[in-house]
Amino acid sequence: MIEVHDLRKEYVEEDTPTRALNGVTFSVNKGDFISIMGPSGSGKSTLLHILSFLDRPTGGSYTFLGKSIDDMSDQELAKVRNKDMGFVFQSFNLLSRLSVYDNVEIPLLYSDVLPAKRRTFVEEAVRSVGLEDKLHTEAGKLSGGQKQRVAIARALVTDPNIIFADEPTGNLDSKSGMQIMEILEGLHEKGRTVILVTHETQTAEFADRIIRMKDGMLESDQTIAVDRVRHHLK
């Protein structure tokens, strides 16, 4: 699904270059559940932004579903991002005065889905995160855990190939965070590809593979045998 080779990213501020990524190489297969870990400044968020088409690299290559991003215009990247990628952010990124329904529907407004089918897609996505009873509740009136569930429903509504989650439990208490990770785990078990950025070891261990970043480089790439039962033990 994803191939990156010698990926580099450099930012320049006041004529001073800062290299955020320094030659990162790895691949992602369909159905993978990957956690990206690393200290602040390690390059993990920069890597996620490039993988999710929110930024472009300054060097190296990135192939998504067999196509190099170098051959794609910004408009093409935006179209692929909306169709094939779902996003879950630490800060939820919901519109607080809109209902759950309206927040989840937003990606469909930029898609080819006909208006007549949108309601079915929205209701199905909301049902998948257990919030069907909140469908017409304003997002601002929900708890943090409920808001993140809405964000996951919004990420799922276009039936994406891959879900990117950036510190999805960072603003939640431990119980709500565990519930969110169990939802992501369930999506993975149904065949979804999930790439997660986190600094929390307990969260990272839901994945089948952990990539550790340091100083803009890939420090380790470890496939782990996960006994998933332990996640549900109190």
pLDDT at residue 226, as a whole number: 53
pLDDT at residue 85, as a whole number: 94
Cα within 13 Å of Cα(154), Cβ side? 27
Please, what is the average pLDDT of the chain?
91
pLDDT at residue 181, as a whole number: 93
pLDDT tens digits, 66-125: 999 999 999 999 989 988 999 998 889 999 999 999 999 999 998 888 888 999 999 999
pLDDT tens digits, 156-184: 999 999 999 999 998 899 899 999 999 99
Q: Which two tokens stand for residue 168?
A: 């999805």
Furthest-apart CA atoms within the chain: distance in Å: 54
pLDDT at residue 114, as a whole number: 86
pLDDT at residue 233, as a whole number: 42
Q: How many CB atoms lie within 10 A of CB 233?
A: 6
Q: Which residues contact 5 (CB under 8 A, 6 or more apart)?
A: 25, 60, 61
Mean pLDDT within 183-188:
92
pLDDT at residue 232, as a whole number: 44
Under 8 Å between Cβ of 88 and 164: yes
pLDDT tens digits, 205-231: 999 999 999 999 999 999 986 554 444
Q: How confident is the model at residue 17 (pLDDT cuts 50, 70, 90)?
A: confident
pTM of the entire predicted model: 0.88
pLDDT at residue 225, as a whole number: 67
pLDDT at 193 over 90: yes
Task: Name the more confident of 14 and 231.
Answer: 14
pLDDT at residue 230, as a whole number: 44
Q: How confident is the model at residue 234 (pLDDT cuts 50, 70, 90)?
A: very low
Mean pLDDT within 12-35:
92
pLDDT at residue 231, as a whole number: 47
pLDDT at 23 over 80: yes
Contacts 24+ apart (CB under 8 A), 74-80: 77/53, 78/53, 80/53
